[in-house]
Amino acid sequence: MNTTLSLANTTDDARFDSEADEIVRRLFSPDDFALTPEEYAARHAHEWGLFSFHRFRYRDPNLGAWIRRLGEIIEDDTQVEKYKQQFLTPKEIAEIEVESADPY
């Protein structure tokens, strides 16, 4: 295993020192934001290959809080699984397993 520090590790503060309001409003629909971060994660965490939006700055504090909470959940598989059990039916969970096999 190589121990080289990545770009992210060496310059984390600078790397995410950008406002991401516009970006996340393009990526997430109004229907997405109507969900709690917990339910969004249950239904959609599997669709994200990479996720770091919780590390950016936000002008809109509500948007920032929603994304930061989502990031906390997405970074913790146990939370994702917990919210799947809370919000989804067994059929929906099975459908996500199938969707997760889709390559990008």
Partner 1 sequence: MPLIDALQDPQNPNRWFFDFDRAAPGGRGGASLLLDPSRSLASFDGGHRNDLLPRRSTGTLLAEGLLIAGMPQPAIIEGNNIRERKTLRALKSGSDGQGTVIGNLFEILVSALGGVIVKWEPIRYVGGFHLWVHVQYP
Q: Tell which one of 65, 72, 86, 100 touches partner 1 (CB under 8 A).
A: 100
Instruction: Provide, rounded to whole angstroms, the least separation between the CB of residue 89 and partner 1.
Output: 20
Instruction: Provide, rounded to whole angstroms, the least separation between the CB of residue 80 and partner 1.
Output: 9
d(CA 12, CA 23): 19
Taking CB under 8 A as the rule, does residue 95 contact partner 1?
Answer: no
Instruction: Provide, rounded to whole angstroms, the least separation between the CB of residue 34 and partner 1.
Output: 15
d(CA 91, CA 79): 19
The owner of tokens 């020192």 is 17
Q: Cβ of 26: how many Cβ atoms within 10 Å? A: 8
Look up residue 21 and give its two tokens.
């309001």
Taking CB under 8 A as the rule, does residue 20 contact partner 1?
Answer: yes
Q: Is 57 helix (H, G, I), strand (E, B) or coil?
A: strand
Which residues in this chain contact partner 1 in the complex, by CB under 8 A?
1-9, 15, 17-20, 22-23, 26-29, 45-53, 74-75, 77, 100, 102-104
